[in-house]
Structure 1
Amino acid sequence: MKGPWPAPKVDRYEALSAKYAQDWPAWGHRKIAALMRADGHAVSDSTVERALRRRGLLLPVGFRADRRAWAKAIDWPCRIGCEPTAGVSLDQRGLLT
């Protein structure tokens, strides 16, 4: 009988991956894994992806494309150094508020 295979690395890093994902909600599993590696943890992209999937924290497919489309929809009045249109702001996840 084939069953769920043990995943000790995913078990070990699940809580930590979830903490990073909650601290950086707009980041995908690859950037979170890179940040974890920069902080000294030996994780792979797939380990972080599996850990986040277990907790339901994976971003939907096309999330970045949606953010880019929303950014283009905002009528930014000028280039570098100017304030965006009054009353329009983005939250930490990059969504319009």
Structure 2
Amino acid sequence: MDPNLALKALAALAHSTRFDAFRLLVRHEPDGLSTGALVEASGLSQSTLSTHLAVLAKAGLVSADKRGRHQIQRANIDTLRGLMIFLAKDCCQGRAELCEPLLADLTCC
């Protein structure tokens, strides 16, 4: 991943509302969530949440698909994976032993 793309993604996730929305979308992959469901979960107005989703979309972290009358928001798992790999490779500088404790802490996968 290009360092500028990584910075854009990290900046987008640096706001608690966007971070929470993205985490919720990741948990609902591969189906995604309607914008209305995200509005309900966040307690924000639709216009405020849409502004946050636009920032996430611009960073490549979220995309929207139209299903009938609903906009379905989805997390871009490929971008998330790329960011995680970029950070691990960059931080560990090719030294796998530095990342082993990180990998041991992954209990979800």
| TM-score (normalised: structure 2) | 0.34
Larger strand proportion, structure 1 or 2?
A: 2
| TM-score (normalised: structure 1) | 0.37
Larger helix proportion, structure 1 or 2?
A: 2
Which structure is larger by alpha-carbon Rg, 1 or 2? 1
